[in-house]
Chain A
Amino acid sequence: MEPDLTFIERVSELSHQNVSRCYYCLRCSAGCPSAYAMEYTPAQILRMVQLGQKDALLRSSAIWLCIGCETCGSRCPNEIHAGAVIDALRQVALAEDVSPAEQSVFKLHVAFLDSIRTWGRLHELTMILQHKLTSRDLFSNLDMGLDMFLKGKIHPLPKRIQGISEVKELFELGDEG
């Protein structure tokens, strides 16, 4: 695949991070909790952005395995927040209809945001049901979920906030951008 040499500009602008400052010291990747499960570590991701490896990045699992814990960003000697760069990569992947490599992670994000759009706040039970249906994974985590439900930590019914129309407007801002 031909490198896309304009990609670094797009990602830098969207993430507000100066990706070209990375000199590959690997502090980000040494501290990253999910690096062991990623096919590209955070430092490799930054390098691939520099080298215009857009397709490989947008199709990777790695961009969906970043937890957003900010270990990388707090430790970078060049003040690059790799987490913000990875957020931008996910956002570009979605904008360009690249199917996320980690479908279950993606569908949980969708269910989470749908919950906010519908109720204004997170309602765990309906979010989990939506995630189970959309990811076709009905039986995972039932043990933990039941324990929490029986202890009153998951409410059966959602409540809607009064300002829900304002929250819906906030969702539309993103649709236009």
Chain B
Amino acid sequence: MTRRYAFYPGCTLHSTGVEFGASSELVCHALDLEMVEIPDWNCCGASSAHSMDPTLFLALPARNLAQAQEVGLSDLAIPCAACYSRLAAADLALQQDGAFRAMMESVLDFEYEGRVRPRNLLDILANDLSGEALTAKIKKPLDGLKVVAYYGCLLIRPPEYTGRWDDPEHPQTMDHIIELMGAEAMPWSYGVDCCGGSLTLNRSDVVVHLVDKLALAAHEAGADALVTACPMCMANVDGRQLYRGGPPLPRPPKPGYQPLPIFYFTELMALAYGLSLKKVLAKHLVDPRPLLGRLALV
């Protein structure tokens, strides 16, 4: 039976997060999930709107919720952790703040019905489908692949927005999917530490410091790669291991530092399902193909 969801891709899914877009499309298709893109969506406002403007940061995602109502489906699937957080915040404000709701209804010419639930794609894949359904499509279990699940900040925080579909301090959803796909999820203590995403272009010193901590911790945990569900984490952890800011002078990496590949969890699912990721894997900045080649997974 086909399950249908309204779908908000967000700005990065066809650009800097293109691997997430392509792999989640493949995986959803394989699992018989139909994603209906909401019409004429706009940017959620991300970090910049809430940094700068006390109304805009809820108004921009509220328009997307209005657009999503037109699709007529009850669950809105959102792959990007940051978009998900913004849309969940706007939905909460529309529910609880009558003045804000009245203003949005008037400006956007719609009536808030409160029946579209913003949900993260990871939550949907892990919790709407049974373990049997998720493993039934496996053609090539990811034997020998050791990874750490990297949840980052906004995927499961704050609990007021997420409704606690996973524990904000000790999430397990992605570890569960990794194990189902036949890979090994190594225990580590950095799964919910922030990578610094929104400072990546303007305070790369801070971001390199944070990304270094994550990469070294992943090494120490015995992992060969990180797994994420967020396009900001991907761009940042992927890019800042290689490109360490500057000029004037890039900071030298620490001795023994080897850049680790980072995957979207949907890429691991697509690999396990035997779906072709040839073009997608070529787009990573830290090339994951040597690692996958060594383990005979591509």
Contact = CB atoms under 8 A, between A and B. Distances in A.
Interface of A: 14, 33-34, 36-37, 65, 67-71, 73-75, 81, 87-88, 90-91, 94, 102, 104-105, 107-110, 112-113, 115-116, 120-122, 124, 128, 131, 135, 139-141, 143-144, 147-148, 151-155, 161-163, 166-167, 169-171, 173-174, 177
Nearest to A113: B48
A102 B202 contact: yes
Contacts of B153: 67-71
Contacts of B127: none
Given A68-B198, A70-B158, A177-B55, A121 B42 contact: yes
Contact of B154 (A69, A141, A170, A173): A69
Question: Which 9 A/B pairs are nearest by Cβ-Cβ distance?
Answer: A69-B153, A69-B194, A144-B243, A112-B48, A104-B202, A122-B11, A109-B48, A174-B53, A70-B157
Nearest to B285: A147
A163 B62 CA distance: 14
A116 B16 contact: no
A33 B247 contact: no
Nearest to A161: B40
Contacts of A34: 196, 199, 206
Contacts of B51: 68, 87, 90, 109
A138 to B, nearest CB: 10
A116 B60 contact: yes
A143 B243 contact: yes
B242 interface: yes
Given A34-B199, A166-B63, 15 more contacts: A33-B193, A33-B210, A67-B153, A67-B199, A69-B157, A81-B158, A90-B51, A90-B52, A91-B52, A113-B52, A121-B43, A151-B283, A166-B108, A169-B107, A174-B59
A10 to B, nearest CB: 12
B92 to A, nearest CB: 11
Interface in B119-176: 152-154, 157-159, 168-169
A148 B54 contact: no
A170 B59 contact: yes
Nearest to A61: B203
A100 to B, nearest CB: 10
Contact of A122 (B43, B107, B197, B239): B43
A91 B157 contact: no
Given A121-B43, A153-B283, A67 B54 contact: no
Interface in B219-277: 235, 239-240, 242-243, 245-247
Interface residues of B, number: 64
A67 B197 contact: yes
Contact of A68 (B16, B47, B243): B47
B15 interface: yes
A153 B14 CA distance: 8
Contact of A173 (B47, B52, B59, B245): B59
Q: Which of B48, B52, B193, B282 is most buried by chain A, counting CB atoms within 10 A of its CB?
A: B48
A107 B202 CA distance: 9
B7 interface: no
A173 B199 contact: no
A128 to B, nearest CB: 7
Interface string B11-29: 1101110100000000000
B63 A174 contact: no
A174 B243 contact: no
A170 B60 contact: yes
Nearest to B50: A87
Given A105-B199, A135-B202, A169-B107, A153 B42 contact: no
Contacts of A143: 243
A144 to B, nearest CB: 4
Interface in B31-60: 40-43, 45-57, 59-60
Contacts of A112: 46, 48
B204 interface: yes
